[in-house]
Amino acid sequence: MSSSRPVFRSRWLPYLLVAPQLVITVIFFIWPAGEALWYSLQSVDPFGFSSQFVGLENFVALFHDSYYLDAFWTTIKFSALVTFSDLLVSLFFAALVDYVVRGSRFYQTLMLLPYAVAPAVAAVLWIFLFNPGRGLITHFLGEFGYDWNHAQNSGQAMFLVVFASVWK
């Protein structure tokens, strides 16, 4: 039985092969992350001429700020809604695509449509469809007695952003 472990002639060759990736990782990921952490522990004047080490005071102030906490929980809610909705919709459509019926190739092609639309074009389409004054979907919702205005209702705005994210 032969060993599946590669054998190098030089003891240093594996390290030389890995070195470029390690250098790139350190320069572009680890060093900036360390700098960001260091700057987060300092208080810097607006022009950046002087700084003072304050430790965790910035984080204490951050987690006592109600605006930050509201934004943080909104982000958590958005992430959870998009993740679980996307998972459910994806599994549902995967099951439908797997089910062999007449015209299934056409259906499979339609599944790729969201990827064929550029994000900027998709954003403009969503704006036109859900425009509170002239949107096609808001018009039909108004016919059923539902007042849609995502500019004034944060719940509707969250639904619209989650729906657009899951669609893409």
Among 39-53, 74-88, 105-119, 139-153, the least confident range: 105-119
pTM for this predicted structure: 0.68
Q: What is the CA radius of gyration of the chain?
A: 26
pLDDT of residue 46: 86
- Tokens representing 39 are 């700057």
Spell out the residues 6+ positions from residue 96 whose beta carbon is closer than 8 angstroms to its own. Answer: 107
Chain Cα centroid distance, residue 112 = 20
Q: Where are the domains of the chain?
A: 13-63, 66-167
Among 42-46, 84-88, 108-112, 156-160, the least confident range: 108-112
d(CA 54, CA 141): 53
Place of tokens 């639904």: 159
Assign domain 66-167 to its CATH superfamily: MetI-like (1.10.3720.10)
Q: Give per-residue pLDDT as tens, 119-145.
A: 888 888 888 888 888 888 888 888 898
**Mean predicted lDDT score pLDDT of the chain:** 88
